[in-house]
């Protein structure tokens, strides 16, 4: 027994040593559980108190709601009574005021028509849009006589104005400058008629309208900088009238105005035109002058298609509130800048074979003409001194007084031997005249040009000169001869110059 007790004690000691940590952990867990139970009980009691308060509040709210329903029912009954009374009073009041009001309005219109127009002006645009949307057929029938006369007058005026514009542009376009532009256009492969038409009627965009298809409401409006004088206050009215005109044309002549592409597409008024591009929910109206460039309508179709892809739900749901629409003015401005024509926008087609051959021939003829001009210039410069020689002094011998001695033989006595006793020599003196000066005319020379030139060693042609000596002792006769020689010399010089020119040209060419 003692041994067994000792073993138990030993075992308990070992267990105490081995399980001491676990016991401490279990104790801590037990203490924590007790703490959580106390917290849960406290929170549960708080929740029970809150539930009681909420139930009390709910009962109070239910009572208030019941009272509110009762008061609302009483208010509805009171409102019905008031409406019935107001209807009865308004009918009686309208019946009483109708004659007076009509008289007041008529008097105001007669006395102050401008004030009435200003008072009713802001309402007219909206009234027209509502009337067009609700009674489109009635509007078409009402506007038919007015539009018919307006169209006839506009067409007649446009024809006269167009004739005057064409005459004026023909006088200013088809001149030397227009001919040069036409030649340049042919070289570039562009139709000269297209260039002349574009110069005569320049293209310019003035306004762009984006309008809803069915209602005629204006979605966006862009005015070009060149058309700053346009009154933008009437843009809503213009959009409504454009829609009415489209519907009138569709009802009168058939075709659709609902984006099927068969409706009214162009309106001309004077020098201005309105190009209309239809879409599914909106249509685009572009006001411009002149002749539209190539690809104009294609660009409008592309713009309307892109606009529908990007904003079709907003465009379809628009009912007059600008807040539901994106800002569409910048795209309209970009479209106007893209469609603005620039220099060189007229594109030329590729040059054909015949055109290229013609250009080559024109170039060769131009080079040949330039060479001939240079040769003619050189020939003229070289021939000028020969054709028009400068006057040179001619030495002419003049008569001079030359003293000449004349020998006179005088017989002298000679000694003759005679048979005399004493020879006698006799000297007889003789008178010898002194020499006298006599004038002997000396022949003078003048040069006469011959008609046949000769070639010198330097290779140039020079006239051959034949000297002819004429003796004329009288000075007056010599002066007359000199005048005759000068006149003949001038006449012969012209003939000589012409012959020299022909000979010189033949020598240089052959």
pLDDT at 303 over 90: yes
Q: Phi/psi at 424 (nearest 5 deg)?
A: -125, 125
Q: In which band, very low, low, confident or very high, does the pLDDT at 407 lie, cut at 50, 70 and 90?
A: very low
Q: Which helix (H) or strand (E) holds 450?
A: strand 444-455
Q: In which band, very low, low, confident or very high, does the pLDDT at 184 lie, cut at 50, 70 and 90?
A: low
Low-confidence winner among 64-78, 196-210, 235-249, 309-323 (lowest mean pLDDT): 196-210
Percent of the chain with pLDDT over 90: 6
Query: Could you tell me the two tokens for 164?
Result: 């005057």
Name the DSSP letter for residue 271.
T
Distance from chain centroid for Cα 179: 20
Contact at 8 Å (CB) between 273 and 245? no
Helix axis angle for 192-200 and 176-188, nearest 10°, is 130
How confident is the model over 35-68, as pLDDT tens digits?
888 899 888 888 988 998 999 999 999 999 999 9
| Mean per-residue pLDDT, 384-410 | 53
Q: Identify the residue with better confidence: 255 or 361.
A: 361
At 443 the pLDDT is 41
Separation between Cα atoms, residue 246 and residue 412, nearest integer Å: 154
Q: 0.85 cut: is pTM over it? A: no
Question: CA-based Rg of the chain, rounded to a whole angstrom?
Answer: 65
Q: In which band, very low, low, confident or very high, does the pLDDT at 410 lie, cut at 50, 70 and 90?
A: very low
Neighbours of 135 (CB within 10 A): 12
DSSP 355-400: HHHHHHHHHHHHHHHHHHHHHHHHHHHHHHHHHSPPP---------
Of 204, 199, 194, residue with least CA distance to 173: 199
Of 238, 220, 234, residue with least CA distance to 284: 220
At 182 the pLDDT is 64
Average pLDDT, the chain: 72
Separation between Cα atoms, residue 255 and residue 247, nearest integer Å: 10
Contact at 8 Å (CB) between 274 and 199? no
Of 319, 116, 114, 332, residue with least CA distance to 223: 332
Q: Identify the residue with better confidence: 305 or 418.
A: 305
3-state secondary structure (DSSP) of residue 277: strand
Rounded (5°) CA angle 383-389-392: 155
Low-confidence winner among 227-241, 318-332, 354-368 (lowest mean pLDDT): 227-241
How confident is the model over 123-175, as pLDDT tens digits?
777 777 787 778 777 777 777 777 777 777 777 776 776 676 666 666 655 56
- In sequence order, which residues have a C-beta less than 8 Å from that of residue 195 and are 6 or more positions away? 181, 182, 185, 346
At 304 the pLDDT is 92
Query: Could you tell me the two tokens for 505?
Result: 């040209």
Q: In which band, very low, low, confident or very high, does the pLDDT at 429 lie, cut at 50, 70 and 90?
A: very low
Contact at 8 Å (CB) between 285 and 275? yes
Separation between Cα atoms, residue 375 and residue 48, nearest integer Å: 127
């Amino acid at each position: 027994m003692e041994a067994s007790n000792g073993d138990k004690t030993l075992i308990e000691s070992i267990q105490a040593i081995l399980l001491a940590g676990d016991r401490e952990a279990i104790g801590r867990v037990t203490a924590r559980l007790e703490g959580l139970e106390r917290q849960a009980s406290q929170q549960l009691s708080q929740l029970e108190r809150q539930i009681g308060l909420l139930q009390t509040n709910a009962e109070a709210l239910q009572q208030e709601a019941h009272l509110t329903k009762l008061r609302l029912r009483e208010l509805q009954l009171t409102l019905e009574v008031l409406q019935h009374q107001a209807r009865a009073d308004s009918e009686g009041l309208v019946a009483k005021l109708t004659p007076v009001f009509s008289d007041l309005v008529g008097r105001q219109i007669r006395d102050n028509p401008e004030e009435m127009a200003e008072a009713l002006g802001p309402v007219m645009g909206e009234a027209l849009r509502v009337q067009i949307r609700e009674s489109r057929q009635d509007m078409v029938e009402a506007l038919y006589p007015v539009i018919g006369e307006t169209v006839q007058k506009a067409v007649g005026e446009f024809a006269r104005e167009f004739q005057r514009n064409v005459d004026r542009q023909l006088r200013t376009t088809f001149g030397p400058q227009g001919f040069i532009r036409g030649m340049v256009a042919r070289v570039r492969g562009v139709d000269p008629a297209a260039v002349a038409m574009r110069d005569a009627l320049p293209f310019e965009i003035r306004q762009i309208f984006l309008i809803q298809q069915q209602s005629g409401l204006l979605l966006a409006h862009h005015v070009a900088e060149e058309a700053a004088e346009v009154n933008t206050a009437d843009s809503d009215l213009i959009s409504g009238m454009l829609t009415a005109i489209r519907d009138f044309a569709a009802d009168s002549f058939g075709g659709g105005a609902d984006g099927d592409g068969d409706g009214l597409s162009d309106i001309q008024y004077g020098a201005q035109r309105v190009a209309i591009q239809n879409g599914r929910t909106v249509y685009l109206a572009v006001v411009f002058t002149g002749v539209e460039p190539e690809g104009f309508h294609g660009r409008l179709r592309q713009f309307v298609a892109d606009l529908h892809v990007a904003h079709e739900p907003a465009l379809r749901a628009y009912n007059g509130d600008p807040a539901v629409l994106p800002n569409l003015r910048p795209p309209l401005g970009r479209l106007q800048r893209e469609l603005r024509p620039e220099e060189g926008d007229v594109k030329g087609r590729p040059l054909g074979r015949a055109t290229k051959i013609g250009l080559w021939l024109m170039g060769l003829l131009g080079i040949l003409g330039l060479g001939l001009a240079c040769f003619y210039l050189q020939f003229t410069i070289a021939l000028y001194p020969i054709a028009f020689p400068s006057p040179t002094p001619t030495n002419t011998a003049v008569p001079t007084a030359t003293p000449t001695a004349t020998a006179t033989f005088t017989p002298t006595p000679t000694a003759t031997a005679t048979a005399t006793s004493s020879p006698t020599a006799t000297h007889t003196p003789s008178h010898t005249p002194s020499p006298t000066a006599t004038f002997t005319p000396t022949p003078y020379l003048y040069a006469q040009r011959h008609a046949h030139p000769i070639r010198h060693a330097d290779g140039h042609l020079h006239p051959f000169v034949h000297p002819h000596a004429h003796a004329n002792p009288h000075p007056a006769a010599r002066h007359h001869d000199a005048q005759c020689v000068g006149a003949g010399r001038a006449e012969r010089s012209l003939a000589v110059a012409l012959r020299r020119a022909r000979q010189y040209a033949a020598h240089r060419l052959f």
